[in-house]
Amino acid sequence: MGYDAEREIFSRFLRESGKHRSTPERFAILEAVLQTQGHFDAEGLYYRMIADGAKVSKATVYNTLELLQAAGLVSKYRFAEKTSRYEKAFGRPHHHHMVCLSCGEIIEFVNEKLERIQEEVSSARGFRGQSYSLQIFGTCVKCTKT
C-alpha cells in the first residue's frame, strides 16, 4: 500500500538492533500506524486493531510503538493529559503543536523562525540538538467564540 520505505526502515532497525525480532505482529502494528491520520494513543490503536481482527497484545502495541519511535517512524508527545500520543513522523516536516485546553483540538504548525532559533541557541552553547518540540496550550478560536 505504498509504505515500502517505512517497512524497510523498520526492518533495518530491528535487524541492526540485534535484540528485537522481526515479527508479523510488529509489522501489522506498523501498518495500522501508517494508516492512521493525525494523533493517536496506544490504547485506541490496540482496540482498533482488535476490532479489525488483528491478533496482537496490548503490550506488543506499546512496545512496538516505542521501537517505531526509536526508528524515527513515529513521534511521541505528552499533551496536557496522562496518555502519550503518537503520530507518523517519517516524511513529514518538523512541526509544533497548539493544544486547546477546552476541546482538546491539536493544531499543527511549522515556523522557520523557531527552527533558526533552535539552531542558534544550540550552536551558541556547543550543543548538538537532535530534536525539539514546542507545545502551546490555550484556547482555540472555536472555543474562544463560545
Count of CB atoms within 10 A of residue 84's CB? 15
The pLDDT value recorded for residue 62 is 95
Set of cell numbers at residue 18 = 540485534
Q: Are residues 29 and 82 in the same domain?
A: yes
The pLDDT value recorded for residue 72 is 86
Domain of residue 11 covers 4-88
The pLDDT value recorded for residue 44 is 93
Set of cell numbers at residue 43 = 490504547
Q: What is the mean pLDDT of each run of 10 residues along the chain (146 residues)?
A: 82 90 94 91 95 95 95 83 81 81 86 88 88 85 88
The pLDDT value recorded for residue 61 is 97
Q: Are residues 37 and 13 in the same domain?
A: yes
The pLDDT value recorded for residue 126 is 93
Q: Are residues 40 and 111 in the same domain?
A: no
The pLDDT value recorded for residue 2 is 61
Phi-psi region of 47 (alpha: psi -120 to 50; beta: other; left: phi over 0): alpha
Q: Are residues 130 and 104 in the same domain?
A: yes
How many domains, in total, are found in the chain?
2
The pLDDT value recorded for residue 133 is 77
Q: Are residues 105 and 79 in the same domain?
A: no
Domain boundary among 40, 68, 88: 88
Element housing 25 (H / E):
helix 24-34
Q: Are residues 81 and 17 in the same domain?
A: yes
**Coil vs helix vs strand at 72:** coil
Q: Are residues 80 and 11 in the same domain?
A: yes
Burial 12-25 (b: 16+ CB within 10 A, else e): ebbeeeeebeeeeb
Q: What is the CATH number of the domain that holds 41?
A: 1.10.10.10
Beta-strand (E) ranges in the chain? 74-77, 85-88, 96-100, 106-109, 135-138
Amino acid letter, 33? V
Q: Are residues 83 and 108 in the same domain?
A: no
The pLDDT value recorded for residue 11 is 93
Q: Are residues 39 and 78 in the same domain?
A: yes
